[in-house]
Structures are given as structure tokens and as C-alpha cells.
Amino acid sequence: MSNSDRVVLALGGAGTLGSGIVKALLDKGFKVAVISRDSIRLERLQSFVSPNTKNNLTTIVGNVGLEEGAEQAKQALLKAVGKVTDIVSSLGFSWCQGGPPYTQTLKDLQWVIETLLFSTFVSWKAFFPLVRDGSDCTYTFITGGAGVKLLMPGTGFLTVGAASTLAFCQVLQDEYPEVPCKLNQTTPGLATPERIVPGYLNHLDLGQGVAALVERRATSHAVLMVNCPADLKSALLERSL
Ligand SMILES: NC(=O)c1ccc[n+]([C@@H]2O[C@H](COP(=O)([O-])OP(=O)(O)OC[C@H]3O[C@@H](n4cnc5c(N)ncnc54)[C@H](OP(=O)(O)O)[C@@H]3O)[C@@H](O)[C@H]2O)c1
């Protein structure tokens, strides 16, 4: 199947990481569909991608973090694009530094878990059946280094949320060892677009790496750690991405 026959659903595709991934996938000739709760973010995405690829981008307004919303979005998606061959999931938020745990509320923690873990679970449950049984299909989770350790003081809830998503993705890989769909997880360490400095990876670099991973379909059940441009370069050369 050529890239132009493949349709990638980018969950979180209107976000920072997602937009880099969407752009890179479109540049490789894939068709891409993005669901976001925010039509303005979707419009921004339309103007961010390479102009000659815009026709291959389908955008849908929806909330994939709610069971009913995810089902509605799935129906709208299938009506618009017919099929999905690949899924990349980068749901959540960029950064959260609300302070040490004692200064935070239960509501703060609920928001973190809802946005990172619940949205990843609910959307996976709705969309995984579309690709599960295809050996040509892929499902790639983008998690984050914040799940492994406290990145800096005051980011504890980010760590709790990212760690729970990381664990969930690991559980899926362990619970579905034989699934035909290539089920991978990439854990990037990234600089935000406004803080890009040499030595740090940005969302455009990561997008190219993820697009290569989806295109090659060479690996499954892998956890790929990519922390800097050198990691990305060697992963691409070793074809582990
Ligand atoms: N930014 C970094 O430096 C970095 C580094 C490593 C890992 N990560 C991880 O990568 C993930 C994405 O980060 P980001 O920087 O791209 O965040 P972001 O810019 O806030 O984008 C997150 C996306 O998730 C979407 N989303 C969340 N809940 C949703 C829901 N219920 N329904 C539909 N869409 C929903 C948002 O959609 P809406 O458009 O609807 O708001 C948004 O497009 C996070 O898990 C983060 O921990 C980020």
C-alpha cells in the first residue's frame, strides 16, 4: 500500500507535537485526519501545513476524550475518509507546573488525569478496532519523558499524569502481544517551539521521526526514546524509527 492509499488519524493533531507530526505525514504523501475540540485550532493547522498538501487533510470538530464524543467523531471520520490505516495519538497538554502537591487541589489532579490518561484510553477504545487486525496498520502513542521523573519543581502532577499514560501504553503492549497492528510508543524529550535551541529536539524534527516510523512499519511493541537530534538521527539510520 502506498502512502497515498493510507489514512492516518492524528489524535491531538491540532496540538504542538501533533501539528509537527501532521505536517510531516502530509509531506510524505499520506492522507491525514485530525479531530479537535476547537475549530480555531483546526483552522490554524490548515494554514500551518504545506500548502500543496492541504487537500489531503481532513479536520473534524469533536471530543475524543468522552465516550459519546469519540463515537460521534468516529462516525463523522468514517463518513469523511472511508477508512483509517494508521493512528498516532499525542493527546494531552504541553506543560503543567502548578506547584508542589500540597498546594494543588483534587480538581487540578482530575484535570491532569482526564486530559492525559482518560482521553488516551477513551480514544484508543473507540479507534483501535479500526486498525487492530491489519498487519499493514499502525498505532503509535506519543508519551513523554515527564512520566519517568520530575522534570523540575512544581511539575509533580504532570509527572503523575504522564506516568499513568506511559503505564497504560505499556499495559496495551503487554496485553496485546500478538496483535497484527504495529503498536509502538515514542517518548520524546522536546523543546517547545518558542524555546528551540541547538541540541534540543523540536516538534518538526519529531514529526519527521514519527512519520518515518509510520511509513516503515518496521517495528512493533517498541518503546522508542528520542531525546535529542542525535538520538533521532541514529534511530532513523538504524531504522528503529
Ligand atoms: N510539548 C512537549 O514538549 C512534549 C514533550 C514530550 C511529550 N509531550 C507529550 O505529548 C502530548 C501532547 O503534547 P503537546 O505539547 O502537543 O500538547 P498540546 O499542544 O496541548 O496538544 C494536545 C492536544 O491534545 C488534544 N486533546 C486533549 N484532550 C482532548 C480531547 N478530549 N479530545 C480531543 N482532543 C484532545 C488537544 O486537542 P484540542 O485541540 O481539542 O484542545 C490538543 O490538540 C502530551 O501527552 C505531552 O505530555 C509533550
Task: Assign 3-class secondary structure to the chain.
Answer: CCHHHCEEEEECCCCHHHHHHHHHHHHCCCEEEEEECCHHHHHHHHHHCCHHHHHHEEEEECCCCCHHHHHHHHHHHHHHHCCCCEEEECCCCCCCCCCCHHHCCHHHHHHHHHHHHHHHHHHHHHHHHHHCCCCCCEEEEECCHHHCCCCCCCCHHHHHHHHHHHHHHHHHHHHCCCCCCEEEEEEECECCHHHCCCCCECHHHHHHHHHHHHHHCCCCCCEEEECCHHHHHHHHHCCCC
User: What pTM value is reported for the model?
Assistant: 0.95
CATH, residue 138: 3.40.50.720
- Let me know if residue 227 belongs to a domain: yes
- Let me know if residue 211 belongs to a domain: yes
- Let me know if residue 200 belongs to a domain: yes
Write the residue with the smallest CA distance to atom 21 of ligand 1.
15
- Let me know if residue 79 belongs to a domain: yes
- Let me know if residue 106 belongs to a domain: no
- Let me know if residue 117 belongs to a domain: no
Q: Which of 91, 112, 197, 205 to mutate to test the pocket of ligand 1 (most atoms within 8 A of CB)?
A: 91
Q: Which of 16, 60, 72, 226 to mutate to test the pocket of ligand 1 (most atoms within 8 A of CB)?
A: 16
- Let me know if residue 115 belongs to a domain: no
Could you give the number of structural domains in the chain? 1
Residue 9 domain boundaries: 3-94+123-144+166-237
Query: What is the CA(123)–ligand 1 centre distance, in A?
Result: 13
Write the residue with the smallest CA distance to atom 7 of ligand 1.
144
Instruction: Show pLDDT as tens, one digit a residue, over the chain (241 residues).
Output: 999 999 999 999 999 999 999 999 999 999 999 999 999 999 999 999 999 999 999 999 999 999 999 999 999 999 999 999 999 999 999 888 999 999 999 999 999 999 999 999 999 999 999 999 999 999 999 998 888 889 899 999 999 999 999 999 999 999 999 999 999 999 877 665 555 566 678 889 899 999 999 999 999 999 888 888 888 888 777 766 7
Query: What is the CA(11)–ligand 1 centre distance, in A?
Result: 9
